[in-house]
């Protein structure tokens, strides 16, 4: 009986830590939260969602009973409609072509192809049942036998190269920048998502250490990421993790901006 008890306790001590090990790793340094979504199982617990009316990241986090929630795609705060494609459970739930403000503006209408083909983060499932991440332009084909399970468009692609002109975040005339969107050339808070060695990495760059996208490019390069893109940033930058972290931009009233779409991890 005594030997059995010793053996049982040994097995218990060895196996319990594996249950306690988290597949979400969050570190903080100098105003930047670095989140790593680790392992294969977590890929089935990630989803992008949207809401008919604008809500805060914290509200989305609580409604979804999520473990982690961050802000995702771009939207028009005036009509509360999306400027980014969102796919949830294999279905497109937000389509920017339905946003009449994009069509009403002559400059946006002339550059609609660039806007609609901005970079997106995808979770892909193939015929073997395995899932993987992709960061590609929206119109990129999916491999044969594979499907997009969930995705959110943002942009621009930040690494390995910046696609500022190609995705209509800046416009140049005679070599000079004459138009800028989303403060891509200015230091501000950022929500950045990337891939490194098959794992998803997220940066919540707060107002304490604001960056322009050239600085973000250099930063993720130093981190050794394979690819990286941005979601909506500035005052939209938000992150909730369990009841431990409630991060919003300090701009405005500090309560967090109301948003359209979110990435949640159940």
What is the spatial distance between Cα 85 and Cα 102, in angstroms, rounded to a whole number?
A: 13
Share of the chain above pLDDT 70, in %: 90
Look at residue 8 in the predicted model and tell me its pLDDT: 42
How does pLDDT run across 137-153, given as a tens digit for each residue? 999 999 999 999 999 99
Q: What is the DSSP letter of 61?
A: H
Confidence of residue 22 (pLDDT cuts 50, 70, 90): confident
Q: Which two tokens stand for residue 84?
A: 């980014």
112-120 mean pLDDT: 98
What is the spatial distance between Cα 70 and Cα 81, in angstroms, rounded to a whole number?
A: 19
Confidence of residue 223 (pLDDT cuts 50, 70, 90): very high
226-250 mean pLDDT: 95
Whether residue 43 is predicted with pLDDT greater than 80 in this model: the reply is yes
Look at residue 255 in the predicted model and tell me its pLDDT: 55
């Amino acid at each position: 009986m005594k030997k059995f008890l010793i053996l049982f306790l040994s097995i218990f001590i060895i196996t319990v830590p594996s249950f306690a090990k988290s597949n979400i790793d969050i570190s903080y340094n100098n105003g930047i939260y670095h989140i790593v979504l680790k392992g294969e199982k977590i890929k089935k617990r990630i989803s992008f969602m949207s809401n008919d009316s604008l809500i805060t990241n914290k509200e989305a986090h609580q409604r979804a009973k999520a473990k982690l929630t961050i802000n995702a795609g771009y939207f028009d705060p005036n009509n509360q409609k999306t400027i980014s494609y969102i796919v949830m459970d294999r279905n497109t739930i937000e389509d920017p072509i339905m946003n009449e403000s994009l069509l009403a503006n002559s400059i946006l209408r002339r550059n609609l192809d660039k806007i609609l083909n901005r970079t997106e983060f995808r979770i892909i499932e193939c015929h073997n049942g395995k899932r993987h991440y992709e960061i590609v332009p929206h119109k990129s084909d999916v491999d044969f036998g594979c499907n997009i399970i969930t995705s959110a468009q943002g942009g621009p692609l930040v690494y390995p190269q910046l696609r500022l002109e190609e995705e209509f975040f800046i416009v140049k005339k005679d070599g000079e920048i004459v138009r800028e969107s989303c403060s891509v050339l200015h230091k501000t808070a950022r929500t950045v998502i990337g891939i490194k060695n098959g794992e998803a990495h997220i940066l919540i760059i707060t107002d304490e250490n604001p960056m322009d996208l050239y600085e973000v490019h250099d930063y993720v390069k130093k981190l050794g990421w394979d690819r990286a893109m941005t979601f909506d940033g500035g005052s939209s930058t938000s992150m909730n993790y369990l009841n431990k972290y409630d991060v919003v931009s300090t701009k405005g009233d500090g309560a967090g901006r109301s948003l359209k779409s979110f990435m949640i991890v159940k």
